[in-house]
Structure 1
């Protein structure tokens, strides 16, 4: 079945929109486009929609189909065959209501911007699946995460370096081409089914779970079996976490994710102030372990989960196998903050994880203590 026949079926609703998108993304790599050329500029032909003030960008499934268009001054008309996806993106970002395929033929089909966005997503999934990985806005090692549902985050991915670069001009960082295995791992950590296409651009839309399966098809996750260290004699905390504490830890993690590495400081500090207990790394005597320093200032590591803490322990032990036994532990925040604040340490939350957050300066804990006093109505 050729493209025009398939478009006829779509125009009479004999195939679903998803079937149409899949057909076009796999069978129609190029579209024939007509331009009006005047004084060195060219504009795509527009067609009227159902309402007088609505205009649709004209495109054809093939060059032969475009021959149906006749004009009085052919010297001002130019036919071009263009790669479908870049053209569709230009049409979507224009002021037009959408596109019309094959006007003047039985296969004519209008696609408003809602349908056009879904068609673009399918073309993008097809193209991205053939790439080693997408472009992702990145600050240090932290990738751009976006909230696709309340409290649910995923990775933002882009087709071209320029597209990701347009977003980093606002969010900071720089475009980095990541592998699909990196994106898959991060999505799994976040509990997300799929990455988000072109977040921050007009055509932004999350990929579907089915599209994500195709994007990650080349990724072969390795089975990793962890062998416990024979010198690790401390039993991890097994008691259930108080629901209020768990909710507070989740709120803190959300604030750090939204901070993208260093931002959102007020929300992070407030979440820290509201917490009654927080995860830290301790030695066998129960003393908090300081694992690093920066510019003569100690770094204190806080964590929103035992998993995050264990990740940093494993990383530290890999660098220095002779480190003493360490384990994560939930401890009271007020006493801890009070003990650490005079040293004005650099605060890290979930260091060693992709969503790690740092305060950079040493005034975080004094400020958190001040907030605690305000929240609890007492002098701290």
Structure 2
């Protein structure tokens, strides 16, 4: 069968590929420790489970409006007001089947063939693929480790052309864990105002912040910044609800309407039970959110120095999310591997540790490790990696 050209250029998800291979080894009886997870290792909080169950028992199992239940939109608006001081009407909020679906819908309604979207490197794996599926063109800006993996206003200015439609910002970032400061965001917002482009602000990790770092939404900086920003968020990471698939967009009503209209022809509506669960997630107790955040911070405190001590590893301490992104080029080379991808393969098959190669994020010399797993497993995984590197070190 001749497939459509739009899917022939897709790059398979590196994360899913590594996870699948690790699962094969586990099924064969191999003791593999997986550090590729992009989800909290906690169950969804009990109050949310109870709300979902109650909604089903009450017969709330039918279709809902395509853009989400009005009560859920109000809960999202209340959360945005509470956390960011931002005011949105229901007409300025669209609920989708996870933040990924919301982003996909955005690019489908925003881009025409040849339109450009600026994507900082390192990036989340699906940004470029979603842009390409909408016949857009990803334009990459490399943010180096010296820049703490954050682009500068000058870089942004230089990358914008007459075809540029949007900039994607992900703060806290997957895969780097870095957070843009208010001052850095102000500089980027000014360039976007000057060049009149949309800001897509992916804030899915906003509740996972460590130390004295602070999350600032770029939409809060000015009336202009709010008008040109589409906030993307959801309950997946903050409330350990990855499988429930509820994300949202908040922004200008005309853009939200277009996204909602498209969703009405693609998904009908977000899962009804999941929406009632999300209402409780935002309106109910937030104790579990802080409990998870504190646990992740504790794991980071413990594991960061151990990982940094591995020969040939160089890394920046993340400020949020639950990922570490060490540069391991020296370790890969000194252990006889032609590339970091090959090094990752060896870690899986010889050290029995599954990590994600940075090539999937546009950062070929790095690997991504998730610390969304128990401290015991984390420490054992790092010990295995160190043992493998030291045993194979050449020169």
Aligning the two structures, in what range does the TM-score lie when normalised by the shorter sequence? Answer: under 0.3
The answer to which structure has the higher helix fraction is 2
The answer to which structure has the higher strand fraction is 1
Q: What TM-score, normalized by structure 1, do the two folds share? A: 0.22
Q: What TM-score, normalized by structure 2, do the two folds share? A: 0.21
Q: Which has the larger radius of gyration?
A: 1
Compare relative contact order (CA 8 Å, sep 6+) and give the higher one, 1 or 2.
2
